Amino acid sequence: MDDCLFCKIAAGEIPSSKLFEDDTLLAFYDIDPQAPVHFLVIPKKHISSAADLTEEDAALLGHIYAVIARLCKELGVAESGYRVVTNVGEDAGQSVKHLHFHVLAKRSLAWPPG
C-alpha cells in the first residue's frame, strides 16, 4: 500500500534491523525499544490492524505466532517470559496503521498496561 511505513519496510524500501524474513512476514527490531528485547512482527501484505483480520488469515496468524515462539527461544527469552501485543486504534495507541505484533522481553512487564 502506498504511503504505509511498514509496507515500505516489508518491501525493503526503508531499512530495518531484521531478525527473520520469509515470503509472508518480517520480524525486525523496534526503532524505539520499550524493553531490552523489543521486536515487531508484521505480515508482508497490508492489513490495517487486527480489526481487519478474517478467517482467511488463520494460517498467517498461526505462522506469525509460531515464528514469535521460535525467535523467543533463539533469543533466550522463552523461559523468562515475554509479552505479545497488538494495538488497535486510537485508544490503544496504534500509531502505524499496518498490523504489527510487538514482542517485549527481558524485563518485568506491568499488568494491567497503562
Q: What number of other Cβ atoms are within 10 A of residue 103's Cβ?
A: 26
Please name the amino acid found at residue 63.
Answer: H
Task: Residue 11: name its binding partner from ligand 5GP, Zn ion, none (Cβ under 5 to 8 Å by kind).
Answer: none
Please name the amino acid found at residue 45.
Answer: K
Span near ligand 5GP by CB under 6 A; candidates 22-30, 55-63, 64-72, 75-83: 22-30
User: If you ran DSSP here, which 8-state letter would residue 104 be given?
Assistant: E
Does 89 sit near ligand 5GP (CB under 6 A)?
no
How many CA atoms, within 13 angstroms, populate the side-chain half-sphere of residue 26? 20
Does 98 sit near Zn ion (CB under 5 A)?
yes
Point out which residues bind ligand 5GP (CB under 6 A).
5, 16, 28-32, 87, 93-96
The set of catalytic residues is 100
